[in-house]
Amino acid sequence: MITKRIIPCLDVKDGETVKGTNFINLRKAGDPVELGKAYSKAGADELVYLDITASYEGRKTFTDMVTRVAAEINIPFTVGGGINELSDVERLLYAGADKVSINSAAIRTPELIDTIANRFGSQVCVCAIDARLEDNGDWVCYLKGGREKTNIKLFDWAHEVQERGAGEILFTSMNHDGVKDGYANEALATLADKLSIPIIASGGAGCKEHFFDVFNIGHADADRFANP
């Protein structure tokens, strides 16, 4: 049986960890390296750093931070945000990241998944999927942090992502994210049972029982949660 993983996620802007709601009313929350070290010491299996900076200057600051994290933290970490082409992946991996997470760029250019997997190996490529359960019962994928609806169905896209070479899928249910009332365990279980690559659940934890349920009912391989 594969060991279940707990993965804290830190949002980073201009080199500092920030907290807020939907990227609004952001406030500083500490040094990302020191927070990462604290999570590692507390027993986290992996970390995720999400770059929410829009500027080119901010991207360079994030890359410098990745180098610092790699030098001081000895658990695997994934980076995401602003990854649109292979050069972005190269920059972050060479800085010391273990994996990269792509979302909207993968839907816009699915071949990017193949390119990353062929160049660096499937284990490097995490494909994040944001989806909402619509009134008609279909799970539909969204872009741009949930602001732009597509006509792509969750389970079709997840299968394509696997076939193109992604090593893991990070699934966020927009219906459950931030509500703290549990996970979309039925959808998670469908993904886990239909696919052979690991499924990471994101968004929904409000108590310890939700972690138990996401692993035992949702069959998730890992849980990613935001910096509290």
Active site residues: 11, 130
Is the separation of the CB atoms in 122 and 133 below 8 Å? no
- E strands within the chain? 5-13, 16-21, 24-30, 47-51, 77-80, 99-102, 125-133, 139-143, 148-153, 168-173, 199-202, 222-226
Q: Which amino acid is at 110?
A: P
Q: Write out the DSSP string of 158-223.
A: HHHHHHHT-SEEEEEETTTTTT-S---HHHHHHHHHH-SS-EEEES---SHHHHHHHHHTS--SEE
